[in-house]
């Protein structure tokens, strides 16, 4: 899917430059945040910078996508940022396991993301022209976005029982947002060189989702009480 900017106004070019800068920043910073000691000062610092970069990607993508208009990219930008946002917010919601409640911002973000992702999936299935004929990709991404939002909403309603629930969400959602960054990199940088096709949109998900499952599984075994392991 090609989106040209040659004859667009100055503000569009400015947003594009900022969008690329934020995307490149998030692409580089995620490995730094993941490599630093979890919970340490450097981890929090680089994690916040990564979050702001992902926010910059979404904030710039939305007006550009709506101006073109490219509804597909606008809806993808919403759930991509939500993964990073919810991955950060869950660190402030550790009290859910002890009866705490989510804040209005958490509810608003989750419900809005679920609705946007549902539109993405539905349009991909019944009105693919509305999402730039990215039918299969729109359905896959829409389902991913709905699931991500629904999982968080469930935590708000049915309180988690695992003490480290927040860590699994934090890790999984941040890696998920990094998958979105890799997707953008593949589509904009690699696909033009090696040929297009919808697989450029999906390969980071195909590789990344098993990586999330394996990583969370590792930490669940690591955090399991020693008595349970011995049994």
Q: How many contiguous H segments (helices) and E segments (strands) does the chain have?
A: 9, 0
Find, among 150, 79, 66, the residue nearest to 120 by Cα: 79
pLDDT tens digits along 2-13: 455 557 788 888
Q: Tell me the pTM.
A: 0.83
> Does residue 101 register a pLDDT over 70?
yes
Transcribe 124-171 into DSSP letters: HHH-GGGGTT-HHHHHHHHHHHHHHHHHHHHHHHS---STTHHHHHHH
**Considering Cα of 177, then 106, then 69, then 134, what sign does the dihedral take?**
positive
Q: Which residues of 184-215 are buried (b: 16+ CB within 10 A; e: fewer)?
A: bbbbeeebeeeeeebebbbbbbeebeeebeee
pLDDT tens digits along 171-219: 899 988 888 878 877 776 666 676 666 677 788 888 888 988 998 888 8
């Amino acid at each position: 899917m090609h989106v040209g900017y040659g004859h667009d106004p100055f503000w569009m070019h400015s947003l594009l430059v900022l969008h690329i800068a934020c995307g490149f920043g998030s692409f580089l910073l995620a490995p730094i945040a993941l490599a630093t000691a979890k919970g340490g000062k450097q981890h929090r610092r680089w994690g916040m910078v990564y979050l702001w970069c992902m926010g910059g990607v979404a904030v710039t993508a939305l007006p550009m996508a709506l101006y073109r208009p490219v509804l597909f990219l606008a809806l993808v930008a919403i759930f991509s940022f939500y993964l990073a946002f919810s991955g950060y917010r869950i660190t402030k919601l550790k009290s859910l396991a002890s009866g705490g409640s989510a804040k209005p911002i958490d509810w608003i973000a989750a419900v809005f993301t679920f609705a946007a992702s549902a539109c993405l999936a539905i349009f991909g299935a019944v009105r693919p022209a509305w999402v730039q004929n990215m039918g299969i990709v729109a359905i896959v991404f829409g389902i991913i976005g709905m699931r991500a939002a629904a999982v968080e909403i469930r935590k708000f309603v049915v309180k988690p029982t695992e003490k480290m629930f927040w860590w699994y969400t934090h890790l999984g959602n941040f890696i998920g947002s990094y998958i979105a960054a890799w997707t953008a990199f593949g589509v904009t940088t690699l696909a033009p060189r090696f040929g297009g096709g919808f697989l450029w949109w999906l390969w980071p998900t195909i590789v990344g989702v098993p990586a999330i499952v394996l990583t969370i599984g590792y930490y669940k075994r690591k955090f399991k009480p020693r008595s349970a392991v011995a049994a």
